[in-house]
Amino acid sequence: MNMMQVMQSVVWAVLLWPCLVSLGVPLECKDEQGSIILCASISKEKLLDRVIQHAELIYRVSEESCTLFEEMFVPFPMRSQRNQAGYTCATKAFPIPGSKSEIQQISDKWLLHSVLILVQSWIEPLVYLQTTLDRYDDAPDTLLKKTKWVSEKLLSLEQGVVVLIRKMLDDDMLTTSYYEQGVAPYALQPEVLESVLRDYTLLSCFKKDAHKMETFLKLLKCRQTDKYSCFLH
């Protein structure tokens, strides 16, 4: 009996070992205050850099996808006519700054929130776009892969921005992924011109918004490093 009890306690100790460790060691370190420097988390600057890289990459891939789609499915005369037949990009509930001067007047907080809203508004439409593209007969594999990749990366971008907000603004109140009302999915047949144009509009709007995210983040970074020189121009 004694052996059994000893064995049980050992097993329990082994199982609960991670809990013990995690209780003992804080995950977040505060270097400035000189406390325990057991940093399991990443610094703000590095995080911002990574988020910017993410946004850049998303933009680049979305641009490639848009070009691919345009070449495959959109008839030539209709290219670059993005708001054809009323398919405009959905307006956001949140006012997004539209020019550099506007952006320069905006605060960091709003900048980050704008980015977050943008990201979150595109999560669902991209999923929808994936399903639509799958129904196309001769959609190239690369296009499908890229859109899939983008929708995955968008999720991780959202998480990164949430963390960034928490770190930079000490704002813990955010929840992730509240969905903006995006373009309503129409059950039209694929490859009909309407659906093609709709998808095309979706892609180009996303491309634009991806560029917005990238720019906002870069401006934010500039402000972090050298606040005054960013405004002078």
Partner 1 sequence: MMWRDVGVTLILSLILPVVAQGARHTPPGKPKLTSCRSPDKETFTCWWEAGSDGGRPTTYSLFYHKENSETVYECPDYHTAGANSCFFSKNETSIWVNYNITVVATNALGNNFSDPVDVDVVYIVQPHTPENVTVGVLEDEDGPFLRVSWEPPSKADTRSGWITLIYELRVKLEEAEEWEEHRAGQQKMFNIFSLHSGGVYMVQVRCKPDHGFWSEWSTASYVIVPDYIPRERSMWILIAVFSAFIFLILTWIITLNRSSVKHCLLPPVPGPKIKGFDQQLLKKGKPEEVFNSLVVQSFPPRSTDYEDLLVEYLEVYVNEKQELMPEGKDLQDVGCLKSKSQSDNDSGRGSCDSHTLLMEKCGGVESKDESSYEEPELLQGQAGSWERLERGDSQVVDTPDSSDGRVKTWPLVFSPSIHGSSDNHHYGTLEMPKQHSTSEITYSVPDHLFPTSTSFPHHHHPEYRDSLGEYSEYRCSRSPSTGVAYHWEARHPTQAHSNFNIRNLERQKEATGLGLPPSRSMEYVEVQKVNQENQLVLKPLSSHGRGPFQRQREMAEAGQYCNYREKEGAEAERYPTQQQGKTTKDGPVATQLQESTCLTTSGYVDTAPTMPTF
User: Which residues contact partner 1 (rule: CB under 8 A)?
Assistant: 56, 59-60, 63, 80-83, 88-89, 91, 96, 98-101, 208-209, 211-212, 215, 218-219, 221-222, 229-230, 233
Distances (CA, A) of 63 to 91, 101, 184: 20, 26, 23
Amino acid residing at 88 = T
If the CB atoms of residues 5 and 80 are measured against partner 1, the closer one turns out to be 80
If the CB atoms of residues 73 and 87 are measured against partner 1, the closer one turns out to be 87
Q: String of b and e for 17-37 (b: at least 16 CB within 10 Å)?
A: eeeeeeeeeeeebeeeeeeee
Identify the helix (H) or strand (E) that includes residue 137. Answer: none
With CA atoms as reference, report the closest residue to 133 among 185, 83, 173: 185
Query: Closest separation between CB of residue 141 and partner 1, Å?
Result: 25
Query: Closest separation between CB of residue 17 and partner 1, Å?
Result: 46
If the CB atoms of residues 54 and 212 are measured against partner 1, the closer one turns out to be 212
If the CB atoms of residues 5 and 101 are measured against partner 1, the closer one turns out to be 101
Query: Closest separation between CB of residue 218 and partner 1, Å?
Result: 3
Query: Closest separation between CB of residue 214 and partner 1, Å?
Result: 8
Using CA atoms, how far apart are residues 223 and 24, in angstroms rounded to an integer? 37
